[in-house]
Amino acid sequence: MLSLQIFANGLVLGGLYACIAAGFSLVWGVLNIINILHGSFIVLGGYLAYYAYAKLGIHPFLSILIAAPLFFALGYALQRALINRMIAAPVLLTLSLTFGLDLMLSNGMLFAFTADFKKLTLDPPLGVLSLSGIVLPVDRLFAMLLALGLTGLLYLVLSRSRIGRAIVAVRMDREAAALMGVNVKRIYAVTFGVGALMAGASGPLLAMIFPISPLSGPAYLGKAFVICVLGGLGSVPGAMIGGLALGVVESFGGLWFGPEHAVTLSFTLLILMLLFRPTGLLGRAGYS
């Protein structure tokens, strides 16, 4: 059945999307900062995996393990050094700041890697899986499972570990958390680092499936926006639901309107959600 195939495609895509958005949503929910760099981090992670595979034969799944600590460090340092100064500044300034940083990063990548799209093709290819009439490429399936696994890991960290709970506390009530002895500045840096980690780690997964170029950063960022609005801010389950929803919407939208309109469709959905249900599908309140 076509619908079921499209639905399955959507879910696979959605799993990846959830991973992309989880870190972004966390940073927005906890620091109240929209990290425009997020899309470029994803692309950078993708390039890392691409060159690791092309030059060193390192499998992209392994690249995730390399990317994770690197990006965490990058995010942590960036937040501590620059972004922390603007933490209570108006939206205009924080958004401009991360925009400016993103321009620098994406220009840097353009310079280093050129705008040509690069595709990480696994050799030998992993083939397809046929499940009662539904066809799923194995690489996508694995990527989705890993993405979900990563997202699930994030959820566990947030709910079980001390630092995770501190992050959630800061998200709920920064002052109360500070009164409880949480070092809010450090948590901000850690959270930003986690956000960067999630982006950098999803890069290799995406690189396996989609061609990458410094120009594709904004597209991923756009998806992260939509997912945050769909799923609510700062919540990993929300990112999961939003991601899956977006994946399914894009799949069916691609079928009905043509794949070139996927982005427009998701942005129109974003605007409609903002107008009629800004608290997200689950109705959780976010920062205004």
Give the interface with other proteins as residue ranges (CB under 8 A). 28, 32, 34, 82, 85-86, 89-93, 95-97, 99-108, 111, 222, 225, 229, 261, 263-264, 267-268, 270-271, 274-275, 278, 287-288
Can you read off the two tokens belonging to residue 61?
A: 């799944």
Query: How far is Cα 188 from Cα 83, in angstroms, rounded to an integer?
Result: 10
Of 189, 220, 192, nearest to 46 by C-alpha is: 220
- Read off the DSSP letter of residue 227: H
In the complex with other proteins, the residue whose CB is nearer, 26 or 150, is 26
Can you read off the two tokens belonging to residue 89?
A: 């500044």
3-state secondary structure of 13: helix
In the complex with other proteins, the residue whose CB is nearer, 32 or 251, is 32
Task: Decide if 200 contacts 42 (C-beta within 8 A).
Answer: yes
Can you read off the two tokens belonging to residue 275?
A: 């107008």
Count of beta carbons in the 10 Å neighbourhood of residue 137: 17
CB of 108 to other proteins, least distance (A): 6
Query: How far is Cα 217 from Cα 158, in angstroms, rounded to an integer?
Result: 27
CB of 270 to other proteins, least distance (A): 6
In the complex with other proteins, the residue whose CB is nearer, 28 or 220, is 28
CB of 241 to other proteins, least distance (A): 19
In the complex with other proteins, the residue whose CB is nearer, 58 or 263, is 263
In the complex with other proteins, the residue whose CB is nearer, 204 or 242, is 242
Which residue is it, tokens 């639901």? 241
CB of 228 to other proteins, least distance (A): 9
CB of 28 to other proteins, least distance (A): 7
Query: How far is Cα 21 from Cα 109, in angstroms, rounded to an integer?
Result: 22
In the complex with other proteins, the residue whose CB is nearer, 131 or 271, is 271
Query: How far is Cα 56 from Cα 79, in angstroms, rounded to an integer?
Result: 31
CB of 261 to other proteins, least distance (A): 7
